[in-house]
Amino acid sequence: MSDQIYQKIQEAQLDEIFSKPYDPELGEKLYNPQKPMENRITDIGPPYYAQFFPPVIKKNYGKWKSHEIVQPGVIKYTSETGDVVYAVRCGTPRLITTDYIREVCEIADKYCEGYVRWTTRNNIEFHVTDEETLRNLLEDLKNRKHPGGSYKFPVGGTGASVTNIVHTQGWVHCHTPAIDASGVVKAVMDDLFEYFGSHKLPAQVRVALACCLNMCGAVHCSDIAILGIHRKPPLVEDDRLEYVCEIPLVVAACPLGAIKPATVEIDGKKKKTVRVNEQRCMFCGNCYTMCPAMPLADGEGDGIAILVGGKISNRVSPPKFSKLVIPYIPNEPPRWPTTVKWVRKILETYAQHARKYERLGEWAERIGWERFFELCEIPFTEKTMDDYRLAYDTYRTSMHFKFTSHVEIK
């Protein structure tokens, strides 16, 4: 074990720069547009991590022995030194203002000596070392609400729960989305709220949302993935394309070779542009990423696909991809009722039928996907059959199947 790293962590000191007041005018004073290199500091990287460790975390680095979830959202860690720390996990909407962060700071200053942590799944973790502070913190968190009545810091997301949804930017801040992100997440989590703060499921259920096929986030390996899709081929803006796009790059960007260069005449002038073989388009949007003159977004065309059964952990079975089970649900702002309904249906069918420890994908594989469709009452369509690369891997080439309602027996 690297004593050297342990030692370095013990010696870490909170950078004094953070206690110096912020100077709102310093940026203008130091930056000289005429001499952009003047006063410029580059490549200093992120702050050293260990300066932000709470004392108990620092002291027990590498010495943790075991843990126990004492109630949903509260994990107690025990160290070989005999020290304990309670981590209190709260959900957040990820899209948060500086005032929300200040409120997090206020809580951390009051109960946690000024330290706080965020998780990979947009949860906040507060660390306390004694039960009385823990009780006071939990009580405090419960009473913090927004004017509309929502909790600011719901406690949960541990064990066999639905933890926070990792998601993307959607219509709030992205240029290629087929759906919103924050709104859909809010609607789904409102509905699944009881599963965030409890341990009722057979195993943890990881829900993720990506607002287009670029998938900024690991939706492709989630128990339930909500994915924004387009269904109309790109428009081609002939009069603008040659000025804003590199035609060879656009042609090369299409994974199915459906785009070819073309020349058109507009007002007697020849313009270089492209043509799309619409029959071959799979609506991936890669052309639009390369070329702003080929927008795909369409209120009627766009919507949600649901994929299920993926996982990251190596536990019991290897990591696996999520599989497409519902090819399309229309966009239904502001509360996406059909999407919410199907996510709940899939979750509760799984909760009812799966065995303890079984992840959603493991359950679906054990009972067979034909049974999954039957139990979840999801109509099976040809769109779930793969016809892209490596599709053959998904074909059934054995006699091992079940006679579900899909089989017509005459």
Partner 1 sequence: MSEIKKHDTQMVSELKSGPWPSFVDDIEQYGEKHKKQACFDLLGQLELSYKHKETHWKHGGIVGVFGYGGGVIGRYSDQQEKFPAIWAFHTIRVNQPASKFYHTSALRKLCELWDNRGSGMTNFHGSTGDMVLLGTTTEQLEPVFFDLTHQMNMDLGGSGSNLRTPSCCIGKARCEWSCIDTQELCYDLTMTYQDELHRPAFPYKFKFKISGCPNDCVAAIARADFSIIGTWIDDIRIDQEAVKAYVGGELKPNAGAHSDRDWGPFDIQKEVIDLCPTQCMYWDGEKLHINNKECNRCMHCINVMPEALRPGTDTGATILMGAKAPILEGAQLSTVMIPFIRLEPPYDELKEIIENVWMFWMEEGKNRERLGELMQRVGLANFVEIVKLKHIPQMIREPRSNPYVFWKEEEVPGGWKRDIKEFRERHPA
Residues 133-192 that bind partner 1 (CB under 8 A): 146-154, 158-160, 166, 168-177, 180, 182-183, 185-187, 189-190
Interface residue with partner 1 among 7, 17, 269, 403 (CB under 8 A) is: 17
Task: Please state the closest distance from residue 368 (CB atom) to partner 1, in A.
Answer: 19
| CB neighbourhood size of 53 (10 A) | 19
Q: Is 88 in the site for partner 1 (CB under 8 A)?
A: no
Q: Residues with Cβ < 8 Å from 71, sequence gap 6 or more? A: none
Question: Segment 189-228, which members bind partner 1 (CB under 8 A)?
Answer: 189-190, 193, 196, 198-201, 204, 210, 213-221
Question: Segment 65-84, which members bind partner 1 (CB under 8 A)?
Answer: 65-72, 75, 77
| CB neighbourhood size of 63 (10 A) | 14
| E strands present in 187-231 | 207-210, 224-229
Question: Segment 254-283, which members bind partner 1 (CB under 8 A)?
Answer: 255
Q: Is 117 in the site for partner 1 (CB under 8 A)?
A: yes
Burial class (CB in 10 A: 0-12, 13-18, 19+), 113: middle
Interface residue with partner 1 among 11, 55, 135, 249 (CB under 8 A) is: 249
Task: Please state the closest distance from residue 223 (CB atom) to partner 1, in A.
Answer: 13
Give the C-alpha distances (Å, rounded to integers) separating 104 from 108, 140, 333, 379. 6, 12, 30, 45
Task: Please state the closest distance from residue 79 (CB atom) to partner 1, in A.
Answer: 9
Give the three-class secondary structure for 125: strand
List own/partner pairs for 139-147 with CB under 8 A and 24 or more apart: 140/107, 140/110, 140/111, 141/88, 141/90, 141/107, 144/103
Q: Is 407 in the site for partner 1 (CB under 8 A)?
A: no
Q: Is 98 in the site for partner 1 (CB under 8 A)?
A: yes
Q: Is 41 in the site for partner 1 (CB under 8 A)?
A: yes
Task: Please state the closest distance from residue 55 (CB atom) to partner 1, in A.
Answer: 11
Interface residue with partner 1 among 73, 88, 91, 378 (CB under 8 A) is: 91
Q: Is 15 in the site for partner 1 (CB under 8 A)?
A: yes
Size of the site for partner 1 (CB under 8 A): 157
Q: Which helix (H) or strand (E) holds 28?
A: helix 26-30
Q: Is 385 in the site for partner 1 (CB under 8 A)?
A: no
Task: Please state the closest distance from residue 4 (CB atom) to partner 1, in A.
Answer: 7
Tokens (6 digits) for 81: 């030194």
Task: Please state the closest distance from residue 283 (CB atom) to partner 1, in A.
Answer: 12
Q: Is 250 in the site for partner 1 (CB under 8 A)?
A: no
Task: Please state the closest distance from residue 375 (CB atom) to partner 1, in A.
Answer: 19
Q: Is 380 in the site for partner 1 (CB under 8 A)?
A: no
Cβ atoms of 363 and 311 closer than 8 Å: no
Task: Please state the closest distance from residue 365 (CB atom) to partner 1, in A.
Answer: 13
Cα torsion 133, 134, 139, 140 to 10°: value is: 60
Pick 93 or 327: Cβ nearer partner 1: 93
Pick 52 or 380: Cβ nearer partner 1: 52
Cβ atoms of 168 and 217 closer than 8 Å: yes
Question: Segment 225-244, which members bind partner 1 (CB under 8 A)?
Answer: none
Residues in the chain: 410
Burial class (CB in 10 A: 0-12, 13-18, 19+), 310: buried
Pick 71 or 404: Cβ nearer partner 1: 71
CA angle, 96 as apex, 94 and 97 as ends, to 5°?
165
Q: Is 87 in the site for partner 1 (CB under 8 A)?
A: yes
Question: Segment 311-350, which members bind partner 1 (CB under 8 A)?
Answer: 312-317, 319, 321, 331, 333-335
Pairing of strands 224-229, 207-210: parallel
Tokens (6 digits) for 228: 């924004």
